[in-house]
């Protein structure tokens, strides 16, 4: 099912994993917002500080759930990271109702970004308790979650005045899966990624299906980053796949986890080799430079 042009990604067995430890990081829109945290085996917060990873699910800024990234978080926790997946405020309405809002869809995106900023700050604020190095936080997301994680860390706008002071939302790496970047956001500066790009970009890995309708928006963003001279983005393409393909294929999800693992090792955020095995069915991403 699609909504506003982005998939409302269904929960499938591919995403099955036990929930992490649940916390409430804030109240917004009259509801408590949850974050699930996954810890490495035998992790002792008082003795070691490891990188943290915080991920935002997709769902067209209107749906989705914490289930989407549970397998990802559980895997990278097993590899030594403290990982989190986040719920955020979403407006439940039809497309027609959303277009009647004063700022249209932008109002929906804005509240999502505000909550994402709060979640990152909460994660850093609790770094001592969780055994996280607050200066080595990785973020990302799929579809709308990719957009939310980008704006939460790049835009100086949409802060919650109740957030703790003195804690920024900067990160050291991005993991984006078919991020939903749109040229239509230019009408609202606060959520327009193109206005907040800089040449200096943390190491970033991006996964896209070449048949994904959202790839056009990504291509525009990627072209601008290249114009700025950004050289830290690694783009990987899944041939003949569309939006949300990784959510419906255990094989593709496994390959993505392995490639992300190698990416994090390359940038000093993990050590050792991936503990997953590439599927015998042969799914592989193609580096964009090889296109």
CB atoms within 10 A of CB 197: 16
CATH number of the domain that residue 82 is part of: 3.40.50.1820
pLDDT in tens, 135-171: 999 999 999 999 999 999 999 999 999 999 999 999 9
pLDDT attached to residue 66: 95
pLDDT in tens, 252-263: 999 999 999 999
User: Which pair of structure tokens corresponds to residue 119?
Assistant: 């979640």
pLDDT in tens, 41-77: 999 999 989 999 999 999 888 889 999 999 999 999 9
Question: How far is Cα 196 from Cα 152, in angstroms, rounded to an integer?
Answer: 11
pLDDT in tens, 191-214: 899 999 999 999 999 999 999 999
Q: What number is the average pLDDT over the span 271-285?
A: 96
DSSP code of residue 5: T
Residue 8 or residue 279, greater confidence: 279
Domains of the chain: total: 1
Model-level pTM? 0.91
5 confidence band (pLDDT: 50, 70, 90): very low
Average pLDDT score, the chain: 90
Question: How far is Cα 176 from Cα 291, in angstroms, rounded to an integer?
Answer: 19
CA 291 to chain centre: 25
Domain range for 168 is 2-290
């Amino acid at each position: 099912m699609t909504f506003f042009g982005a998939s409302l990604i269904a929960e499938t067995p591919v995403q099955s994993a036990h929930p992490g430890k649940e916390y409430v990081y804030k109240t917004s829109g009259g509801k408590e917002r949850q974050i699930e945290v996954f810890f490495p085996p035998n992790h002792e917060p008082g003795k070691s500080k490891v990188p943290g990873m915080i991920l935002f699910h997709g769902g067209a800024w209107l749906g989705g759930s914490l289930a989407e990234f549970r397998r990802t978080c559980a895997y990278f926790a097993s590899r030594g990271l403290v990982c989190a997946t986040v719920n955020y405020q979403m407006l439940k309405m039809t497309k027609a109702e959303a277009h009647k809002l004063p700022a249209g869809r932008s109002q929906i995106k804005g509240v999502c970004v505000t909550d994402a900023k709060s979640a990152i700050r909460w994660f850093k604020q609790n770094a001592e308790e969780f055994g996280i190095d607050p200066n080595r936080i990785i973020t990302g997301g799929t579809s709308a979650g990719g957009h939310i994680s980008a704006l939460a860390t790049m835009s100086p706008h949409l802060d919650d005045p109740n957030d703790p002071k003195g804690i920024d939302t900067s990160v050291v790496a991005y993991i984006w899966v078919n991020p939903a970047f749109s040229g239509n956001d230019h009408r609202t500066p606060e959520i327009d990624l193109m206005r907040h790009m800089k040449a200096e970009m943390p190491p970033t890995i991006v996964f896209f299906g070449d048949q994904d309708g959202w790839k056009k928006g990504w291509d525009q963003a990627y072209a601008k980053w290249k114009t700025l001279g950004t050289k830290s983005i690694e783009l990987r393409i899944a041939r003949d796949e569309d939006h949300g393909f990784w959510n419906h294929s255990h094989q593709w999800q496994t390959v993505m986890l392995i490639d992300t693992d190698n990416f994090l090792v390359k940038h000093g955020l993990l050590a050792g080799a991936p503990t997953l095995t590439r599927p015998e069915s042969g799914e592989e991403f193609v580096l964009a430079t090889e296109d």
